[in-house]
């Protein structure tokens, strides 16, 4: 099989056309998909009206799946491999705890010592307009820094925190942020990460980075802000406009993303994500 690809943007992404991920995919066809994933950083599969089981089964082709122990509030009660991102109200009428998931620049599970290889986000329902997700190419972000800046940041480790937004849990009153902190101690990750499969260097930064290990927050802030601003320059960013039954696969080792709140919150935005485990990276630090 020769994969039919359509580029999504200059910096990132390709749509895989004429494919049904629920049908058997041979080893060689899957090899082509995996090659395209490494080459483009993001793959889009449109019109995939599949079941949760089929979403999980297809995702398993990419590696072992996270059971989301570090984000227990957001995982699906019957499918621990699925993480819910929804503004659908709970059955008691309270707001969904995951309605703001992903609303800052991040790479999935960077706050753990086994950050994700890739994620497969499936859209069940999307607003009439908006609810888009931005993705930044972190290879380009690294490669376009000056040699002086590359040398400066090479030895740095960024201390990453799980939660960045305070949402009170309507049921227990326990702030979500406090729970995330308790389950996930701060983890230091290299600011420059070598992609384990392509060997290319990528910037590994985002809004979850509080400070650099060995530096204060005040000292770290200007450089963190500069690097995030640099990485998210429009020419490095792809903006995904969701359609129901899209499956978007991205490589967390060379991209970061942010969900936008650019939609009418009275309309339903409901997605589910599988998270493929990556290789160990970083170390736990005693205090943030």
Contact call for residues 128 and 262 (beta carbons, < 8 A): no
Q: Is 271 in the site for ligand SIN (CB under 6 A)?
A: yes
β-pair type (14-17, 42-45)? parallel
The residue nearest ligand SIN at its CB is: 102
Could you give the string, one character per residue 246-265, with x where binding to ligand SIN holds by CB under 6 A and - elsewhere? -----------x-x------
**Cβ 286 to ligand SIN shortest distance, Å:** 28
Q: Is 101 in the site for ligand SIN (CB under 6 A)?
A: yes
Detail the DSSP E strand segments found in the chain.
4-7, 14-17, 42-45, 83-86, 116-125, 133-137, 157-160, 187-190, 192-194, 201-203, 209-212, 237-240, 247-251, 255-259, 270-277, 283-284
Non-local (6+) Cβ contacts of 57 within 8 A are none
Is 94 strand, coil or helix? coil
Decide whether 119 or 220 has the Cβ nearer to ligand SIN: 119
Decide whether 71 or 141 has the Cβ nearer to ligand SIN: 71
Report the residue from 133, 160, 184, 255 that binds ligand SIN according to the rule CB under 6 A: 133
- The CB density around residue 138, as the number of other CB atoms within 10 Å, is 29
Stretch in the footprint of ligand SIN (CB under 6 A) among 101-109, 161-169, 202-210, 231-239: 101-109
Q: Is 118 in the site for ligand SIN (CB under 6 A)?
A: no
Binding site for ligand SIN (CB under 6 A): 85, 101-102, 108, 119, 121, 133, 257, 259, 271, 273
């Amino acid at each position: 099989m020769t994969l039919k690809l359509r580029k999504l943007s200059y910096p990132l992404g390709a749509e895989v056309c004429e494919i049904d991920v629920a049908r058997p995919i041979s080893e060689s066809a899957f090899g082509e998909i995996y090659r395209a994933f490494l080459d483009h950083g993001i793959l889009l599969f449109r019109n995939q009206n599949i079941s949760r089981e089929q979403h999980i089964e297809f995702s398993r082709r990419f590696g072992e799946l996270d059971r989301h122990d570090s984000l227990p509030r957001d995982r699906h009660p019957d499918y621990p491999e699925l993480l819910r991102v929804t503004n659908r109200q709970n059955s008691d009428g309270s707001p969904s705890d995951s309605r703001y998931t992903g609303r800052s620049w991040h790479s999935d599970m960077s706050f753990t010592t086994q950050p994700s290889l890739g994620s497969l986000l499936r859209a069940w329902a999307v607003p009439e307009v908006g609810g888009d997700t931005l993705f930044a190419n972190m290879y380009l972000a690294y490669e376009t820094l000056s040699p002086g800046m590359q040398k400066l940041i090479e030895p740095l480790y960024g201390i990453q925190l799980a939660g960045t937004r305070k949402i009170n849990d309507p049921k227990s009153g326990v702030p979500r942020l406090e729970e995330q902190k308790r389950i996930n101690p701060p983890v230091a990750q290299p600011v420059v990460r070598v992609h384990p499969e392509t060997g290319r260097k990528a910037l590994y930064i985002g809004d979850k980075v509080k400070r650099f290990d060995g530096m204060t927050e005040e000292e770290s802030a200007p450089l963190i802000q500069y690097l995030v601003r640099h990485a998210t320059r429009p020419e490095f960013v792809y903006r995904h406009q969701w359609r129901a039954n899209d499956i978007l696969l991205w490589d967390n080792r060379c991209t970061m993303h942010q969900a936008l709140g650019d939609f009418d919150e009275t309309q339903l935005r409901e997605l589910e994500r599988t998270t493929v485990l990556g290789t160990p990276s970083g170390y736990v630090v005693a205090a943030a």
